[in-house]
């Protein structure tokens, strides 16, 4: 399988220009600074994935906002100085949110909003397509159940981006929240600069335990080392989050590899590199279990040559630089 060279070990900057605690200039200026980029480079990583919400860089009418783009410009400058590559990820666009709230997911039913998505990418590509160390990720975690509309819109966006950035790597994930099971459904223009993307938070019962935004898990804690039968039991009780639990009778590397092999096969068949744009463990989990989980997923990534970016650098219940992770920080960094 092809490798996504320069993007093998990275981290997300979630919560800065996307999913913000507050959308304000004060937040943008203080949440991430050049010193954070230096820290990440000092960890020995090779790239950053930067999630961006549309409302940071354009107004409600779709007019580009220089103040928002200025923060991306700063990140580009800092990454160049620190020798890091950078992925610009459109995390939310007008009429689409991966949170799957019906009122926020109307883009695929609206030609006008699809045109606006294309226009957003034309502006981004025109501005950053000249940088050899910058790659583009079309859209985060498509929630569609039918791949046809995403294939059509993604292909159209790629065609328009290529007018401004003919050599830029373009990263595309499958439907159903970048599932490993849906990459094989992608049908995109043939090009040497396409990368397939998936996200990996399995077993979800472990990585999102006690998450306040997941009502079914808000009062459930589980150890990573639990027998897989324990996972199956909980999954049956809540009728959810059972992906991969019957692929193997062992939790750990074998469980992860069975799931990820489906994404590997899709990338090999398409002759493109494979990238995991998000993976991580909530700070409610036992920290020693978290370190072991990172070691296991690292071994699978290394075996198949999969590029990746951990979720996430700071805050948001997954912030690796936070106090919760500090007892095992060096061990976890080695496994990013």
Indicate whether 233 belongs to any domain: no
The predicted-structure confidence for 15-72, as pLDDT tens digits, reads as follows 999 999 999 999 999 999 999 999 999 999 999 999 999 999 999 999 999 999 999 9
Q: Is 286 inside any structural domain?
A: yes
252-309 pLDDT, tens digit per residue, is: 999 999 999 999 999 999 999 999 999 999 999 999 999 999 999 999 999 999 999 9
Three-state secondary structure call for residue 252 = coil
- CB contact at 8 A, 91 and 51: yes
Q: Are 206 and 228 in contact (CB under 8 A)?
A: no
Per the document, the length of the chain is: 336
- Residue 86: give its domain's CATH number: 3.20.20.80
Residue 21 in any domain: the answer is yes
* DSSP letters spanning 282-332: -TTS-HHHHHHHHHHHHHHHHHHT-EEEES-SSSTTT-TTSGGGGGGHHHH
Res 1: pLDDT: 94
* Nearest C-alpha neighbor of 144 from the set 189, 178, 187: 178
Return the active site residues: 141
Residue 214 lies in a domain: no
Provide the pLDDT for residue 100.
Answer: 67
Q: Do the domain assignments include residue 217? A: no
Please give the share of the chain, as a percent, with pLDDT higher than 90. 95
Question: Into how many domains does the chain fold?
Answer: 1
Q: Are 330 and 33 in contact (CB under 8 A)?
A: no
- Distance between CA atoms of residues 196 and 187, nearest Å: 11
DSSP calls for 95-161:
TB-TT--GGG--GGG-HHHHHHHHHHHHHHHHHHTT-TTEEEE--S----SSHHHHHHHHHHHHHHH
Q: Is residue 246 part of a domain?
A: no
Asked if 238 and 278 count as a contact pair (C-beta separation under 8 A), the reply is no
Give the distance from CA 118 to its chain's centroid: 20
Paired sense of beta strands 307-310 and 194-200, if any: unpaired
| Cα of 83 vs its chain's centroid, Å | 21
Gap between the Cα atoms of 42 and 182, Å rounded? 35
Distance CA 89, CA 138 (A): 6
Residues spanned by the domain of 22: 10-206+251-333
Q: How far apart (Å, rounded) are the C-alpha atoms in residues 151 and 174?
A: 9
Q: Where are the beta strands (DSSP E) in 191-262?
A: 194-200
Q: Within a domain: residue 236?
A: no
pLDDT at 240: 95
Q: Is 152 inside any structural domain?
A: yes
Cα separation of the two ends of the chain? 20
Tens digit of each residue's pLDDT (9 = 90 or more) over 128-165: 999 999 999 999 999 988 899 999 999 999 999 999 99
DSSP reduced 3-state for 333 = helix
């Amino acid at each position: 399988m092809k490798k996504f060279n320069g993007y093998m070990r990275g981290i997300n900057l979630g919560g800065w220009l996307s999913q913000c605690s507050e959308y304000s200039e004060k937040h943008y200026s203080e949440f991430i600074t050049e010193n954070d980029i230096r820290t990440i480079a000092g960890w020995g990583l090779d790239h950053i994935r930067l999630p961006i919400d549309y409302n940071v860089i354009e107004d409600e009418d779709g007019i580009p906002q220089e103040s928002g783009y200025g923060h991306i410009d700063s990140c580009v400058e800092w990454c160049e100085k620190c020798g890091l590559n950078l992925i610009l990820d459109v995390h939310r666009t007008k009429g689409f949110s991966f949170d799957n709230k019906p009122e926020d997911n109307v883009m695929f039913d609206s030609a006008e909003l699809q045109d606006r998505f294309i226009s957003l990418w034309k502006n981004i590509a025109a501005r950053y397509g000249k940088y050899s160390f910058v790659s583009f990720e079309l859209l985060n975690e498509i929630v569609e159940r039918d791949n046809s509309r995403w294939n059509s819109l993604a292909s159209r966006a790629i065609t328009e981006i290529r007018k401004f950035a003919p050599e830029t790597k373009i990263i595309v994930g499958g439907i159903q929240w970048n599932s490993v099971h849906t990459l094989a459904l992608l049908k995109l223009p043939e090009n040497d600069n396409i990368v397939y993307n998936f996200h990996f938070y399995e077993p979800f019962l472990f990585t999102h335990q006690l998450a306040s935004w997941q009502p079914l898990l808000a009062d459930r804690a589980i150890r990573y080392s639990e027998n897989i039968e324990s996972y199956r039991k909980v999954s049956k009780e809540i009728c959810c989050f059972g992906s991969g639990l019957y692929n193997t009778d062992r939790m750990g590397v074998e469980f992860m590899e069975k799931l990820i092999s489906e994404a590997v096969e899709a990338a090999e068949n398409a002759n493109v590199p494979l990238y995991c744009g998000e993976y991580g463990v909530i700070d409610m989990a036992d920290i020693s279990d978290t370190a072991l989980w990172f070691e296991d997923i690292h071994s699978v990534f290394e075996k198949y040559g999969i590029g990746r970016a951990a979720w996430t650098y700071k805050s948001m219940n997954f912030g690796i630089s936070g106090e919760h992770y500090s007892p095992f920080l060096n061990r976890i960094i080695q496994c990013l």
